[in-house]
Amino acid sequence: MQYRTLGRTGVKVSTLCLGAMNFGAIGNTTQDDATAIVDAALDGGINFIDTADMYSQGESEEMVGKAISGRRDDIVLATKVFNPMGDERNHQGSSRRWIVTELENSLRRLDVDHVDLYQIHRWDPTTSDDETLSVLTDLQRAGKIRYFGSSTYPAYRIVQAQWAARENHLSRFTTEQPQYSILQRGIESHVLPVTEEYGMGVLVWSPLAGGFLSGAIRAGQESTTNRAKLMPERFGADTPSGKAKLDAVEKLVTVAEDAGLTLIQLALGFATAHPGVTSAIIGPRTVDHLHSQLAAADTALSSDVLDKIDEIVAPGLDLTPGGNFDTPPSLLDASLRRR
């Protein structure tokens, strides 16, 4: 396993991060399954675990908390807030009111007294940066979070948040968590240049493209991955972008075989090859899935292999346009761009 510094924090994290989205109802994963996955991940050198309050409505955090019991200090622990937790209209977002409440809920579910990295799961257009950064700064000073970051923010919002922190003398986002894979390379043209400029750590999610790059989704077979079920418009194989991905995957399989690699090794090696990427988040549902991904921990792709990937999917290109959840709200809601 390789380790990199998380932005400018001085904290060393593994280049593969264990994502816990599949723990609980979403992945039909039991506590025994989750504990076995965490055990195997730690044995494999992973020291970084990422979850979120909304994963199975808190069940993932509870499972992670039980799985890491007795070894909390050996783990860099991250969770997230923003998405709805129930039907109450104020049980969501990034207001001071909700963040203070929901962090306490997350700490209780995780059974810890602090988290190392607390992330805003999505940009909230209804809440000012000043509001969000001020409460996160207060929670950091109270010792309940060590650092905080953003997730899936458009590049211009990352810049705005950095400016707001400086202007108001607040702590700043030290990390960003965007989607990134061979098939979704849009952040290379806008997000990664910004995060590198500000020295932010970058934790990329879905480096296996929701199953396209794990071998779970191939031409002529049914798509059964969780991301395909939850977000078929972005991760399904039956859309125009899905078919473009399938075509690319068949070419990438040949590149991997010629290099003596599995498709998973090619995909994860690609994600961590970019100098702006700190860690790639993997989300295994079983221990077998985890071991197939741990095999990529030390994969280093040659320039020739990276060039062949560029020929299949050009740098900066998203095969699913708008699939990075960073489209400005006014382009999604006509009422926001019309009088």
Q: Using CA atoms, how far apart are residues 21 and 24, in angstroms rounded to an integer?
A: 8
Closest to 269 measured CA to CA, from 249, 294, 247: 294
Q: Using CA atoms, how far apart are residues 32 and 317, in angstroms rounded to an integer?
A: 40
Helix (H, G, I), strand (E, B) or coil at 336: helix
Q: Using CA atoms, how far apart are residues 228 and 48, in angstroms rounded to an integer?
A: 25
Residues 6+ apart with CB under 8 A from 310: none
Closest to 132 measured CA to CA, from 95, 93, 181, 172: 95
Sign of CA dihedral 215, 300, 18, 119: negative
DSSP letter at 232?
A: H
Q: Using CA atoms, how far apart are residues 47 and 61, in angstroms rounded to an integer?
A: 17
Catalytic residue among 55, 118, 147, 180: 55
DSSP letter at 170?
A: -
78 pairs with which residues across the strands? 50, 117
Q: Using CA atoms, how far apart are residues 103 and 145, in angstroms rounded to an integer?
A: 9
197 pairs with which residues across the strands? none
- Judging by DSSP bridges, how do beta strands 201-204 and 48-50 pair with one another? unpaired
Angle between helices 96-110 and 59-67 (to 10 degrees): 40
Catalytic annotation present for 55: yes
For residue 91, give Cα distances in angstroms to 230, 241, 305: 22, 34, 46
Residues 6+ apart with CB under 8 A from 44: 1, 290, 291, 294, 297
Q: Using CA atoms, how far apart are residues 102 and 53, in angstroms rounded to an integer?
A: 8
What residues are labeled active site?
Answer: 55
